[in-house]
Amino acid sequence: MHDGTGRIVVQNLTKQFGPVAAVQNLSFTVEPGSVTGFLGPNGAGKTTTLRMLLGLVTPTAGIGLINGRPFNQLGNPARVVGAVLEAQGFHPKRTARNHLLVYAAAIGVPDSRADQVLQLVGLGAAGDRKAGGYSLGMKQRLALATALLGDPQILVLDEPANGLDPEGIAWLRTFLQSYARSGRTVLISSHLLAEVEQTVDQVVIISRGQTMYYGPLDNLRDQQQARVLVQPSDTGALVAALREDGINAIEQLPDGRIAVSGVEAKQIADVALKAGVSIYGIQEEKADLERLFFQLTSGQYAAPVGYKQQGYEQPGYQQPGYQQQPGYQTPSQPFQQQPFQQQPYQQQPPPPGYQQPYQQPPQGYQPPPPGYQQPPQDNPYGQQHGQGGLGGGA
C-alpha cells in the first residue's frame, strides 16, 4: 500500500545503454502542492528518467518512488499517477470519446468520466471526431484527458505544451497551477524555457544525465544579480561618477552601453544628474530562466573549437604531396572571366575539288538555253561557291 503523500522521490538513478550513460546518479524530490519543471537540452536524459520513474525502463542503479513505492507496486496506478510521454497513442479511426471509454473501462471508472475530462481539456465539442483527424495540439489535449481519467494525485507530463497555440499554452499554464494548488503533484519536462518560467515553482535542471540545479525557481534567479543597462552621453564621466559613489560593478558592453549590477535604475539616474551626464536610455535587465539555463547546460552539444568541415580547404591550403612548379607565381588578382562576345557568321568556302551531290531535277524542268547567265543578286553572306541556277547543280 502506498503512503498517499503524492511525493515523487528519485534516488541515485542511473541508466547505462551500453557505453552511453544516459542518466548518472540523479537525485531529486517533487513535493505536492507545486509544479516542478524538469529541464534540460535534448538528449540530457529527461525522457529516460521519466520512463524509469514509470516502470517502462529498468534502471542500472538507483530507484524512483511514487508515494513511497515503485510504480509497479502501486496497485491501480492510473488512480495514483496520470502520465503523458507522447501524444500519439490513439487509434486514428476511433473517436476521442470512444478512446476514453476504452481506458475508462480498463481502469474501472464510470463512462461519464470520459465526457467530464473532454470538457475539462476543451474538447467537448470535438469528442465525436476521429482522433486521426486531430491536430497536434488537439492530440496533446486528448492525451492529457486520458491521463486525467482516474482523477490522479500526481501528473507526469513530457513536453505537454508541444503543438499548442498561444491560447492553449495559457490554458495549460492555468490548469496545471490550479491542479497543483489543490494539493496535487505536477512534474513536467520541457525545453520551452519561457513558458516553464511562468508555470513552475521549482526546477530540476539536468545536463549529460547529471543534476545541475535542484530547488525553488526564486533561489535560482537570486544566483544572478539583475543589471541596469545605461546609454549615457559621456560614458567615462558617468563611470567615474558611479565609482566615486561606491558603485564598482560596471561592465562596458560592445554596443556602447554600460551594465551596472547591484543597484537600481533610480540610483544611477540620480548619480548621472549630479554629474551632469545626460541619459539617452536606461533599462533594468532581470535575470531570466533561459539565461541561467544556458549557463548551467552550456557545452553539451557545442562544436569543438577549431572545428573544420570535412573537405573544406582554408585559403593558402596545399594538398599533401603536391609540388608547385618552379617559377610559378600566385596571381596577385583573382581570375575574372571575360564576357562572351558573339562573332558574325561567315560561311567558309568548300575545300578544293569539292562537288555538290547531284540532285534529280523536278518533273517538267527545262534546262536554260545555251549562253544563259543568271542575273546578279545581292548576297549578304558573300559569294557562294558551287551553286547556280534553280537546280543547284554544279
Q: Which long-range contacts (CB under 8 A, 24 or more apart) does 340-346 make?
A: 345/381, 346/381, 346/382
What residue ranges of the chain have pLDDT lower than 70? 1-3, 87, 192-195, 287-289, 299-394
pLDDT number for residue 52: 96
Torsion of CA 74, 75, 79, 85, to 10 degrees: 60
Tell me: the pLDDT tens digits for 202-213?
A: 999 998 888 888
Domain boundaries, the chain: 8-221, 224-286
Tell me: the pLDDT tens digits for 269-319?
A: 999 999 999 999 999 887 666 777 777 877 554 444 444 444 444 444 444
pLDDT number for residue 319: 44
* Topology of the domain covering 224-286: Alpha-Beta Plaits (3.30.70)
Tell me the angle at which helices 136-148 and 96-107 cross, rounded to the nearest 10 degrees.
20
Contact 35, 200 (CB under 8 A): yes
Please check whether the two domains, 8-221 and 224-286, share a CATH topology: no
pLDDT number for residue 342: 53
pLDDT number for residue 76: 87
CA–CA separation, 116 vs 104, rounded Å? 12
Record the cell numbers describing residue 18, joined without a space. 551500453
Sequence-distant (6+) residues with CB within 8 A of 110 are: 104
* Topology of the domain covering 8-221: Rossmann fold (3.40.50)
pLDDT number for residue 26: 94
In angstroms, the Cα distances linking 232 to 57, 198, 229, 258, 264 are 58, 33, 10, 8, 16
Q: Which residue in this structure is represented by grid cell 560614458?
A: 235
| Region of residue 167 (left: phi > 0; alpha: psi -120 to 50; beta: else) | alpha
Strands 185-190 and 20-30: unpaired
pLDDT number for residue 362: 59
